[in-house]
Amino acid sequence: MKNDTLPIIKYLAVLLGTPAFFGCSDFLGVKPQSSLALLTNLAHYQAILNNETRLNGSYPFAGDYASDYYYLSEADFLSRDETGRNNYTWGGEPAHQNNWYQAYGRVYDTNVILASIDEAALGNMHEENRNSIKGSAYFLRAYNFYHLAQLFAPPYQQGNNDGLLGIPLRLSPDINERSYRATLDETYARIIADLKAAVPLLPDLPAVKTLPSKAAAYAALSRVYLTMQHYAEAGAYADSSLRLQPALIDYNDLDTMSAQPQFPALNEEVIFHATCGNFSAILSNSRAGVDTTLYGRYYDDDLRKSLFYRVNTQGVLGFYGNYDGSTSSSLFFGLATDEMYLTRAECYARMGNTSAANDDLSTLLSMRYKRATYEKQTFQDGEELLAIILQEREKELAFRAGIRWADLRRLNLDPRFAKALYRRIGSQVYTLEPNSPRYTFKIPYDVIRLGSIEQNP
């Protein structure tokens, strides 16, 4: 083993062996200086980014637990832990603390990189490696801030965010630095600033899709601007991403009868690979039954119906279309080209460019239907076209973690697309009304106690 690899191994051992921080050295159990002193050359910083278990896994899952694309039987519901049951029924308690701690743990890693990468020795690497590492840190910090905001901050409303709190924006590895909640506008401004800072530093495409790239930064900017209802910007960044990576999988080339996973990890549609956590094991395809209304929207000639879903040995219609390359409950949480086609189509439709919106919709669906069965439809009415695109977005991106919850929050702001959600457990019916305060999760109580920050209603 090379001697120059020892410092980063020691650093990761310390970092992975401690809980994530929240503005209190006792809570982390390690002084930041002891970590930074071990990082001397670019290879050490790159090793932090190469830790896929930490930086590409266990992304926040509470929004997907609360989403509408699945249901639990009464028996499966009762067998889950109390925190998972509360999350599923939109109760008023915080979701599992891992949604917060693991995301802020990744933020800490990125801040460690950004605090000292400019002074790191090249070692056997080059300046373009320094740029890529730095750009990756900006991307990952923004990606985590964005998804934290979808859970712990209220939905963004254009011109109507006065007095609304966002999330703590940790920008330093100094764990003794006091945290406070930024405003909602400041939160999104920081997310956008970090992603824009990442763009010129990153390669067009990554060496491996577990690492960020320009295509990924553009895709993330598109997702953020869509959430903000800034449709011109969302469409433009989706276009920029697709210009670098336009590939779609032709589902006709897949075997609908195969028992093996149909979508390999890092497949040609994946722009950036990540997976979500699943602490309460709710999203397992042996347990999470596909919403019957959603399933009924797929036509028989739609290959997604057989590639995404099947009845398992427990008699549950489960999801098997995971872009993670497995049939596990760790759903794909990354960025992919199909999302970008749908985002660009939606933005074209909203801005009155029905021809381009129709083209994008057709490009995607021609790869999803059996050959010789799909005929391009041209919708002239903008309202009808938008509704169709949003329905296809729901069908294409069901069980694509990190997307549906944000879509529900933004679409609820438009009465045309607002939707009440329902859960039935025995004779009890739970309801989540559009724009309910329950669309914003409470912050874990330990964080409130240690950080002395304001709790959500």
The answer to whether the beta carbons of residues 417 and 435 sit under 8 Å apart is no
Compute the residue count for the chain: 457
The answer to whether the beta carbons of residues 411 and 418 sit under 8 Å apart is yes
Fold exhibited by the domain 3-252+334-451:
1.25.40
The answer to whether the beta carbons of residues 197 and 113 sit under 8 Å apart is no
The answer to whether the beta carbons of residues 262 and 230 sit under 8 Å apart is no
The answer to whether the beta carbons of residues 404 and 61 sit under 8 Å apart is no
In angstroms, rounded to a whole number, what is the distance separating the alpha carbons of residues 167 and 449?
16
| Number of C-beta neighbours around residue 351 at 10 A | 14
Torsion of CA 429, 433, 436, 439, to 10 degrees: 70
Q: Write out the two tokens for 22.
A: 């929240």
- Residue ranges in the chain modelled with pLDDT below 50: 1-34
CA nearest 265: which of 214, 328, 340, 339? 328
| Mean pLDDT, the chain, integer | 92
* Strand locations in 348-454 (E): 421-425, 428-432
In angstroms, rounded to a whole number, what is the distance separating the alpha carbons of residues 265 and 337?
14
Amino acid at residue number 379: F
Q: What is the DSSP string of 242-272?
A: HHH------GGGS-TT-SS-SS-TT-TTEEE
Confidence (pLDDT) at 427: 97
Confidence (pLDDT) at 15: 43
Confidence (pLDDT) at 35: 55
- Give, as one character, the DSSP assignment of residue 182: E
Q: Write out the two tokens for 427.
A: 């004779």
Amino acid at residue number 61: F
Query: Which residue reads 């397992």 in tokens?
Result: 284
Q: What residue spans define the domains of the chain?
A: 3-252+334-451
Bridge partners of residue 276, in order along the sequence: 59
Report how far apart, in Å, the C-alpha atoms of 144 and of each of 113, 148, 385, 418 are. Answer: 15, 6, 32, 27
Contacts of 121-130 spanning 24+ positions with Cβ under 8 A: 121/40, 121/41, 121/42, 122/41, 122/42, 123/4, 123/41, 123/42, 123/43, 124/43, 125/41, 125/42, 125/43, 125/46, 129/42, 129/46, 130/42
Torsion of CA 59, 67, 256, 254, to 10 degrees: -50
pTM: 0.93
- Give, as one character, the DSSP assignment of residue 440: S
Amino acid at residue number 386: L
| Number of C-beta neighbours around residue 28 at 10 A | 20
| Number of C-beta neighbours around residue 420 at 10 A | 11
In angstroms, rounded to a whole number, what is the distance separating the alpha carbons of residues 305 and 299?
7
Q: Distance between the two ends of the chain, CA-based, in angstroms?
A: 53
- Give, as one character, the DSSP assignment of residue 336: E
The answer to whether the beta carbons of residues 101 and 20 sit under 8 Å apart is yes
The answer to whether the beta carbons of residues 81 and 169 sit under 8 Å apart is no
Query: Which residue reads 């709710």 in tokens?
Result: 282
User: Helix, strand, coil % (nearest 5) of the chain?
Assistant: 45, 10, 45
191 Cβ contact partners less than 8 Å away, ≥ 6 residues apart: 142, 145, 146, 149, 224
Confidence (pLDDT) at 4: 42
- Give, as one character, the DSSP assignment of residue 454: P
CA nearest 222: which of 200, 195, 198, 250? 195
* Strand locations in 273-357 (E): 289-290, 309-311, 317-319, 335-336
Confidence (pLDDT) at 37: 58
